[in-house]
Homo-oligomer: A and B are copies of this chain.
C-alpha cells in the first residue's frame, strides 16, 4: 500500500497518447475507461490540425477499476492502441520517481530543488548528486544525499560519462536534472535518457545559446532577459522546450545585475519543469512539447 493510499488519497493512472487523427479517438479511449469502471479526473486532448495528429492526456481514479494496474497497459494496447496506431505511455500516481541532480559550482538551482524536496512539495526521491567539482558537497551531505565527483570531462569525457552512467544505474535513476551543470553531454550519454534529462539554459532560447548568454544579452541591449528549461538532445540548447520565463531589465542593469535577476528566473523555471515532469504533464512530439497543465 502506497503512502498516498494510507492517507486515503486514491491512486490514479495517467495515460499519454498520440496518433494520426481520425474520428472516434476520444470516444474509444473514454469508453475503455468508463466500461471498466474508471472515473476520469483529468482529460485534455489536442489536435494538430496542420499535421493531423491527435494528442491526449487522461488521468483516472483506479479505485474500482476492473483491470489490475499491472495489466492496464497490455489491455489498452490490445483493445485500443493497436487499432488506431497509438503511441502511448502509462504512469501511476503512486510511483515516486528517482531523480539525479548534476551540478557544477553554482548553488541556486540546487538549493531551490532541495528546499522543495525537503518540504515535500514534490513526490520525488533524490538519492544522488553528481558534479565535476567538490564545491557543493557540503550541501549534499547536509541533506543526507550521496555526492559523487566524476573526473574532469576536459581530460577524458568518455571516462567521465561512463562513470556517471554507472552511478545513475547504481542508484536506479529515472531522470536527470542539470542544475546549472556547465558541461555538454555527449550524444551517447543523452541516448541513455531520451526526454529524461532536463537542462536549464540561462537565456530566452533560441536567443543566446551557448556560453555566457547574459554577457551577450547585455551587449545586444535587450530589454527583457529569460531562462529556458528543455529536454537535452544531442544538439546543444536545441532540445524540446518545457518552460520559459522572462524579466524586464533596463540600461541601469550591468551584466552582474542580469546574472542576479536571471538566477531567480533559472531556479523557478527549472523547478517548474521538474514539477511538470514529475506530474507526467509533458508529451514530447518531434522537437516540441505539449504541456497538459
Contact = CB atoms under 8 A, between A and B. Distances in A.
A259 to B, nearest CB: 10
A71 B244 CA distance: 46
Main secondary structure of the interface of A (DSSP, over half): mixed
A287 interface: yes
A165 interface: no
Nearest to A55: B251
Nearest to A252: B46
Which of A30, A208, A220 is packed against the most chain B CB atoms within 10 Å? Answer: A30
A22 B271 CA distance: 34
Contacts of A254: 49-50
Interface stretch (A32-40, A90-98, A154-162, A191-199): A32-40
Contact of A268 (B27, B116, B142, B268): B268
Contact of A223 (B22, B47, B243): B243
| Interface size band for A | 35 or more
Which of A37, A271, A288 is packed against the most chain B CB atoms within 10 Å? Answer: A288
Contact of A119 (B26, B27, B107): B107
Interface string A195-225: 0000000001111100000000000111110
A41 interface: yes
Interface in A95-149: 107-108, 111-112, 115-116, 118-119, 121, 142
A204 B228 CA distance: 14
A248 interface: yes
A47 B41 contact: yes
Contacts of A224: 204, 226, 244-246
Contacts of A26: 26, 30, 34, 40, 43
A15 B159 CA distance: 57
Given A22-B39, A26-B43, A107-B119, 5 more contacts: A26-B26, A111-B111, A111-B115, A205-B207, A222-B244
